[in-house]
Structure 1
Amino acid sequence: MASTVATDSSRASARPGYGQLLRTPGAWTFLLPGFAARQPFAMLTIGIVLLVQSTTGSYGSAGAVAAVTGVSMALFAPQSGKLADRYGQRTVLVPGVLLHAASVSVLVALALSGAPMWALFAAAVPTGASVPQVGPMVRARWAARLDGSPLMSTAAAFESVTDEFTFVVGPVLATALCTGVHPAAGLVAEAALTLVGGLLFAAQRRTQPAHGLLAASERVEHASALSVPGVRVLAVAFLGIGSVFGGMQVSLTAFTEEIGNPGANGLLYGMFAAGNMLAGVAVGAIAWKSGPRRRLLVGYTGLAMAASLLWTTHSMLLLGALGLVVGVFIAPALISGYTLVEDLVPASARTEAFTWLTGAVALGQASAVTVAGRLADSYGSTAGFLVPLGGTALALVTLTALRSRLAPRPAPRTVARGVGHRVPVTVD
């Protein structure tokens, strides 16, 4: 079957498989270290929540510190992506992972010493700002190697599956370390994985996309990926997805505390992430006849409907099942959104575009953690689940109203100057 798909890959209806994708020369050299370096996005928020809650006794305070980290990441991530497009990924990544490891260490030390909240907030800023944008960088490497190939849609699905696998492993690992070893163990592990994985990823220079090769006319036209209307619409949609991640993390933690079984938090969040991962595998394996814009709208509608039921559930079994369903609908929305970037944004600005979307998830997650934490403190865990409902509903309304802005960008008028349409990879 794989060979049949390979021979028919020129047809739009065919979808090359994961096996063909992973045989792309050089792929494994950046995939393996990239997986370890992606853990901050999965472990950082829950690690902060568990550490600060254990030292202050307040979910609201824990959520506020985590929110500062998320907002800082959302603000700085696009700038990191823009710098990577201009100067190269390695130039940005190496100092970034070093700063992140140091910042996490300071945050842990302050929390354990009972430092005031303003000190935790101050340490949270560089912690979030320095989170390495490895996921967008991996996507940019795929785009550079597969530009114009039908494998690009498969790569988008594969990356979503990889992201969600980190959300299966990361929260479970962080929760197990924080509850079974020490409240700070989750963050310590997160910093170590980031440092080692990030440096190994940065060392893979042969697969790094070229930088600084675009014609001046295209650099002016696409000075920022956010200038593309479709990217702004996708950012709003990804804010809603972030509200699901943040609301689920805090509310599930509060729920398991209420029922006297805090160790079940990792299991429940793992079921949510597993639904996302399994759906991602399926989405990548299907040869879709509908376009990514329609798949995004359908997937997001299902996500909003499933998220609207979370606050009604009081049983651990039902909550786990519903979390699984919510996760199933996140994958099509994420994959379709990332796939649309290839049609909306020129190759010269894709790393930045991917980081805007990642930053939007982080900002939505940060806002959700704050609001859900306050609601959980005041009204219990059930109230915290209202946050994913509100976030996805508002994003769905925006996405539906502005769906016309997700149409592919027009082809460039001059082919001869289209250096950015096929970005070569650098060679040592």
Structure 2
Amino acid sequence: MPSSASAPSRARSARPGYRAVLRAPHAGRTFGAALLGRLSYGVVPLALLLAVRDATGSYSAAGAAMALFGLASVLLSPVRAALVDRYGPRRALPPMAALYSALLLAVAATARPGTAPAALAALVVAAGACTPPLGPVMRTLWRRLLPDPDLLRRAFSLDGVAEELLFVSGPLLVGLLLPLVGPAGAVVAGAALLLTGALLLVASPLAAPHPRGGDREGRQAGADGATDGGRGRRAGRLGGGRALRSAVLAAAVTGLALGALDLMVVAFAERQGRPEAVGWVLAALSVGSAVGGLGLGALDRPLPNAVRLPLFTAGLGLALAAAGLAPNLLLLGAAVALAGLFVSPALTTSYLVADEAVAPDARTRAGAWVNTAFNAGSAAGGATVGLLVGHLPLPLCFALAAAPALASVPALRTRDFGGARSRRKSDPAPDPAP
């Protein structure tokens, strides 16, 4: 007769891990397609910057064009996500991806010396306005496939770590392409990656309209049962209440901290006489973030979302403030890696909170709002520190960059997030394995 001590051990070993996430029906092909398309997000910005610079001969013109590209992409992300929520991935993503790719091809074709900078900028901005929301769509499909909260947390953790690695590898791919095809060719490669990934994604059975009417049920739940701060939420509205606002706030302060950190690391390395060390210090941030994200997904009994969100945000702020006290690059790298441990868990928890806060027919928009907040915060952090870093001591700049994350903790402490084991009754059941 087996001992009682061995039973819990076998139960723990039987708990599903990352392999179970990827073995779910259609998960591997769908996730692979999404990653292929999202690799474009790491390729296109640098390729466009270099293409516009070569065509205009001006870094300022290239920088202005890319700033507008980022602004259009970030601000219109919720609008594009709303189209996906309304019409579904199979109807909304292909035309969006085709238009985005066509505009990138137009930039590549016209990025020649003598081209008017305004014309190039207009094409670049139009492309940014059409950027398909592959990340939010993939997270919505994860929820459809994996209603179990533990598996969903692992899927979101894996998704976030993979996305971060894509943003690191994208510029490396551009570096490999430049000697072969030049900046314009790299832009074409980015367009091809996005279009191919988007079409493969919508070809997955997961992207098909759900036969059980899950979206209709979600809209009915939003109209009849769900509330937003005590008010009824009509169908089609985002809703989400305080939980969604907390997720957006956490993503914004995380982005602000990271946007500020990049420039502060550059300034620190230059003052140490080691500008070449910037790369490995920022690599330490990525490694720490990957370890933190995978660690969160691997936990068997994590703290509830309502506890994790302020905890990770506070940890990021404290680690960032401590990094400003580092006396040398080695300790700065260690402190930055420690800060990275909180980055991916904070973002993953933000996406989970947003996903749980809204009805099924609003999840793509909720994820897009979190993504928009992170990108907007990153841009604001970089711009603000750029104004301060030459006028204030670096330790003070680190402390000021950490302040929003620490100041947000009281606002993030709430009990209405919907715990790690919550699940909406309107969620459709997963498709059976073929």
For the structure 1 residues 251 and 20, does the alpha-carbon distance in structure 2 shift closer, same or farther, using more than 3 Å as the test?
A: same
> Structure 1 residue 321: deviation in Å?
3.9
Q: State the structure with more CA Rg.
A: 2
Question: Retained in 1: the 8 A contact 2:355–2:366?
Answer: no
- 3-state SS in 2 of match to 1:213: helix
One-letter code of the match for 1:404? T
| Cα distance in structure 1, aligned partners of 2:323 and 2:380 | 18
| Cα distance in structure 1, aligned partners of 2:264 and 2:174 | 16
| Cα distance in structure 2, aligned partners of 1:294 and 1:239 | 18
> Structure 1 residue 168: deviation in Å?
3.1
For the structure 1 residues 400 and 324, does the alpha-carbon distance in structure 2 shift closer, same or farther, using more than 3 Å as the test?
A: same
Identify the match of residue 224 of structure 1 among 237, 241, 245: 237
RMSD over equivalenced CA pairs, Å:
4.3
Question: Residue by residue, what CA displacement relative to the aligned partner does 1:147-194 show, whole Å, maximum 9, x if unpaired?
Answer: 245322222222222222213322433455569974556544332321
Question: Retained in 2: the 8 A contact 1:213–1:419?
Answer: no
| Cα distance in structure 1, aligned partners of 2:183 and 2:62 | 13
Identify the match of residue 361 of structure 1 among 363, 374, 390: 374
For the structure 1 residues 361 and 395, does the alpha-carbon distance in structure 2 shift closer, same or farther, using more than 3 Å as the test?
A: same
For the structure 1 residues 384 and 107, does the alpha-carbon distance in structure 2 shift closer, same or farther, using more than 3 Å as the test?
A: farther
- 3-state SS in 2 of match to 1:404: coil
Question: Residue by residue, what CA displacement relative to the aligned partner does 1:199-218 show, whole Å, maximum 9, x if unpaired?
Answer: 22122244446375236644
Q: Which residue number corresponds to residue 155 of structure 1?
A: 155
Q: Which residue number corresponds to residue 203 of structure 1?
A: 203
Q: Which residue number corresponds to residue 422 of structure 1?
A: 428
Question: Retained in 1: the 8 A contact 2:78–2:365?
Answer: yes
**Corresponding position: 1:234 with 2:237:** no
Q: Which residue number corresponds to residue 38 of structure 1?
A: 38
**Greater mean alpha carbon deviation, residues 202-211 or residues 180-189:** 180-189
One-letter code of the match for 2:361? S
> Structure 1 residue 333: deviation in Å?
0.5
Question: Retained in 1: the 8 A contact 2:48–2:183?
Answer: no
| Cα distance in structure 1, aligned partners of 2:50 and 2:392 | 15
Q: Which residue number corresponds to residue 20 of structure 2?
A: 20
**Corresponding position: 1:213 with 2:216:** yes
| Cα distance in structure 1, aligned partners of 2:362 and 2:316 | 29
One-letter code of the match for 1:123? L
Q: How does 1:75-86 map to 2 (within 5 A)?
A: 75-86=75-86
Q: How does 1:111-260 map to 2 (within 5 A)?
A: 113=113, 118-119=118-119, 121-174=121-174, 177=177, 182-183=182-183, 186-208=186-208, 210=210, 212-214=215-217, 217-220=220-223, 221=233, 223-225=236-238, 228-248=241-261
Question: Retained in 2: the 8 A contact 1:71–1:366?
Answer: no
Question: Retained in 2: the 8 A contact 1:225–1:352?
Answer: yes
Where does structure 2 lack aligned partners over 5 or more consecutive residues?
A: 1-6, 224-232
Where does structure 1 lack aligned partners over 5 or more consecutive residues?
A: none
Question: Retained in 2: the 8 A contact 1:156–1:335?
Answer: yes
TM-score, normalised to structure 1, is 0.78
Question: Retained in 1: the 8 A contact 2:65–2:121?
Answer: yes
Q: Which residue number corresponds to residue 299 of structure 1?
A: 312
For the structure 1 residues 79 and 51, does the alpha-carbon distance in structure 2 shift closer, same or farther, using more than 3 Å as the test?
A: same
- 3-state SS in 1 of match to 2:135: helix
Q: Which residue number corresponds to residue 398 of structure 1?
A: 408
| Cα distance in structure 2, aligned partners of 1:120 and 1:192 | 20
Q: Which residue number corresponds to residue 341 of structure 2?
A: 328
Question: Residue by residue, what CA displacement relative to the aligned partner does 1:17-67 show, whole Å, maximum 9, x if unpaired?
Answer: 111222111111201111111124434444455666676665x76554333
| Cα distance in structure 2, aligned partners of 1:285 and 1:71 | 35
Question: Retained in 2: the 8 A contact 1:312–1:382?
Answer: no
**Greater mean alpha carbon deviation, residues 104-113 or residues 249-258:** 249-258
Question: Residue by residue, what CA displacement relative to the aligned partner does 1:125-164 show, whole Å, maximum 9, x if unpaired?
Answer: 2222222211111111111122245322222222222222
Question: Retained in 1: the 8 A contact 2:222–2:359?
Answer: no
For the structure 1 residues 87 and 303, does the alpha-carbon distance in structure 2 shift closer, same or farther, using more than 3 Å as the test?
A: same
Question: Retained in 2: the 8 A contact 1:81–1:351?
Answer: yes
Question: Retained in 2: the 8 A contact 1:241–1:392?
Answer: no
Q: How does 1:252-331 map to 2 (within 5 A)?
A: 267-308=280-321, 317-331=330-344
Question: Retained in 2: the 8 A contact 1:77–1:133?
Answer: yes
| Cα distance in structure 2, aligned partners of 1:349 and 1:6 | 39
Question: Retained in 2: the 8 A contact 1:84–1:92?
Answer: yes
- Which gives a bigger RCO, structure 1 or 2 (Cα 8 Å, sep 6+)? 1
| Cα distance in structure 1, aligned partners of 2:266 and 2:209 | 40
> Structure 1 residue 88: deviation in Å?
0.8
- 3-state SS in 2 of match to 1:420: coil
| Cα distance in structure 1, aligned partners of 2:392 and 2:173 | 22
For the structure 1 residues 250 and 180, does the alpha-carbon distance in structure 2 shift closer, same or farther, using more than 3 Å as the test?
A: farther
One-letter code of the match for 2:428? R
| Cα distance in structure 1, aligned partners of 2:281 and 2:328 | 12
- 3-state SS in 2 of match to 1:38: helix
For the structure 1 residues 408 and 419, does the alpha-carbon distance in structure 2 shift closer, same or farther, using more than 3 Å as the test?
A: closer
Q: How does 1:337-352 map to 2 (within 5 A)?
A: 337-352=350-365
| Cα distance in structure 2, aligned partners of 1:382 and 1:181 | 43
Alignment identity in percent? 29
> Structure 1 residue 327: deviation in Å?
2.0
How many residue pairs end up in the alignment? 413
> Structure 1 residue 424: deviation in Å?
6.4
Question: Residue by residue, what CA displacement relative to the aligned partner does 1:64-119 show, whole Å, maximum 9, x if unpaired?
Answer: 43332222222221122222122111211111222222333444566653666654
